[in-house]
Structure 1
């Protein structure tokens, strides 16, 4: 019999609800795994084993709390937590102790989750890497910026974890670590209490090891119970979007793409190239410019008063963002609005879009968390995305693709994701 920490979140939740598994037993198995592997993976910046055990015992002694009853949860260290430090991967925030939880954390606790610890983030959820290593190969990056959250779930330390995405910070680490990452539709999950980067794109989401696990977490974050129902379609209409930057995809991703299309096309109602807006070629550059400008605004005080505490890479980003004037940003936003309409029209013909998640396997080395190139368009447009882990690259590291859905159709996206995984796995 496998140890409880290796159960999927949905398997564990079902066993907990039937009282066949105690929250304390599940938590102790997770703690044993952390004790075994944390020195190598380094997923956590802060653990509260005793506090978590106290929560678990209280849950075991009381009534069922909700869909996440008894499930240990990792929280990216840019989310405020009333009982744990929130240091945002930066010395500027060393020892910072919020008084209240971020809204997303509070929703998870209300649903019965046990916050076990804070997971490593890149510096202020930007590009400078933290200490986390890829569970499949410690010489490789786990992706970022939600590095520790992805690695902890992938390494069976936790069933679920919270992360955020502004460019590719959920989908890319999910791809690097071979798990399911979900970025809900922009605006569906409250961001109160989460350190901001780019106000028009920041999105709260999370990680699980299966599609159903990620959907379970998303159902609590969004308040949409339909995400837990998983009413699978008989077939799908799939639009294929390699995107304007497909030439950057490495051989492992190209092979993964071919594998997916070969498996899905025969059973799909439609599986064909989707026509993108005519001027979509520079979508990644537009997203990057808006993000840089908005991040520079969000981190004005850090940039002004704590510049010496920032990495040179982040200082350069903030300098560049401040140099982009508001008129240029407004023009970029106007183009994004037109693209949003154009891409939105595709969902009259397709249920989902299939598109790359990352340019290759997890990067070699720990200083670079990977290029968010293939995630930038969907973050800019605010569309829901889910990473599908189903393949491996030449060195044995995980590879996969992402599905993109219509804004607000997160439950249909996750049902489509399960339909695809049933045929890809």
Structure 2
């Protein structure tokens, strides 16, 4: 039972504040109280100024014009520029650095009336799998995922209704799976990346976290994502869903295998047509292609950091110098030359075009979000093996929460659309999430609701 404003999703907050039934200061106070209570355990924030949050709330309360996100509390991943808060990238060189100008996505959120609460923890430059201080709100001994560690954890723990992340491999979807929240990795370049730290020009994508499917639909309105080319579905009945286990299926743990089977069963029970989608053989090359492209694009993205910051982890220096033998998740890289990089881009381009064709018989595709439950330990943020393929293909992906593994931890599944069909993917994900919740509510309260009373 919702009793405090911090427990409301974004749609509910905006509805209440725009109607004058709830003040933004009340929202801010509730959020700050929750953070004060839980931050010692979760540690999602890299920067938080309660007085500034309250002042922003008062300013919003004084507005005559109220936008789509009026008063909605938002966390911002600390690789996204904010004019009035530090942007530190979780690295020594930028400690205390205040850009003085907002990233494009922050401009958009302010225009919509969002209440920016603070900056959330990221791994260094959102580029490594080395865990930071943030812990999984459902079990502090486990990672919340990364690199958008703080954003996923803050939304899951009811500290904010919405948070911004980024994804270059699996940095939005994996934390959402591990913490049990909705997340959208939109079509590449459908939301401006101006003002975000760059790693990979062809893979980096702004990510969105929320606690409901309707909130992702609201954010799609805020960011003017492409309008659907057909009426959006209002039920699962008649949906055509491709079940894609991906070439990484051998790495799926029993918990993920069961979650995917359960989600497929929920879809079928709701009247959807679920059929296997086997990707062509060339898609098996994509994990290697993705790593090579990141290595090539990271070489230019981090050249300045390599030159200016000799104390950076070796991963960054080796990427720039081309001397690395393994990448950030331990995969061998070998010593590719420029011909190998050109070949990688050719395969990526070919698979993007081919995916439009192989996925065309389906409305959306169902696939794993992560290998399993969040691993024990916070030193490593987990594997992106089930995410990097979709990131490289530049397609929209939505994590659907609600299922749990044997340790009682969240297990997400992903709904994938074709490029620029983000709203269809969001709508289908919301329908699946509601159906999953209806099935599991008879057994136990939802994970986000449980988190509220810890």
TM-score using structure 2 length: 0.89
Aligned residues: 423
From 399, 406, 425, give the equivalent of 1:413: 425
Q: What is the aligned partner in structure 2 of residue 360 from structure 1? A: 372
From 316, 329, 347, give the equivalent of 2:359: 347
TM-superposed CA distance for 1:296, in Å, is 1.9
Deviations 1:248-296 (A, max 9, x none): 0011111111111122124344211113122211211211111121112
- Superposed, 1:184-199 pairs within 5 Å as 184-199=186-201
Aligned residues of 1:174 and 1:181 also touching (Cα < 8 A): yes
Deviations 1:170-218 (A, max 9, x none): 0000011100110010010000100000000100121001111123223
TM-superposed CA distance for 1:223, in Å, is 5.0
Aligned residues of 1:289 and 1:321 also touching (Cα < 8 A): no
C-alpha distance in 2, partners of 1:139/1:166?
A: 26
- Superposed, 1:25-36 pairs within 5 Å as 25-36=26-37
TM-superposed CA distance for 1:2, in Å, is 1.2
Q: What is the aligned partner in structure 1 of residue 440 from structure 2? A: none
Aligned residues of 2:225 and 2:423 also touching (Cα < 8 A): no
Q: What is the aligned partner in structure 2 of residue 285 from structure 1? A: 288
TM-superposed CA distance for 1:321, in Å, is 7.7
Aligned residues of 2:74 and 2:162 also touching (Cα < 8 A): yes
Q: What is the aligned partner in structure 1 of residue 172 from structure 2? A: 170
3-state SS, counterpart of residue 367 of structure 1: coil
Change (3 A) 1:102 1:241: same
From 236, 242, 246, give the equivalent of 1:243: 246
- Superposed, 1:4-403 pairs within 5 Å as 4-127=5-128, 128-222=130-224, 232-233=234-235, 234-308=237-311, 310-320=312-322, 324-403=336-415
C-alpha distance in 2, partners of 1:162/1:45?
A: 14
TM-superposed CA distance for 1:56, in Å, is 1.0
| Unpaired stretches in structure 2, ≥5 consecutive residues | 325-334, 438-454
Q: What is the aligned partner in structure 1 of residue 442 from structure 2? A: none
Change (3 A) 1:377 1:71: same
Aligned residues of 1:123 and 1:129 also touching (Cα < 8 A): no
C-alpha distance in 1, partners of 2:338/2:46?
A: 37
3-state SS, counterpart of residue 279 of structure 1: helix
| Unpaired stretches in structure 1, ≥5 consecutive residues | none
C-alpha distance in 2, partners of 1:224/1:338?
A: 24
Q: CA RMSD in A?
A: 1.8
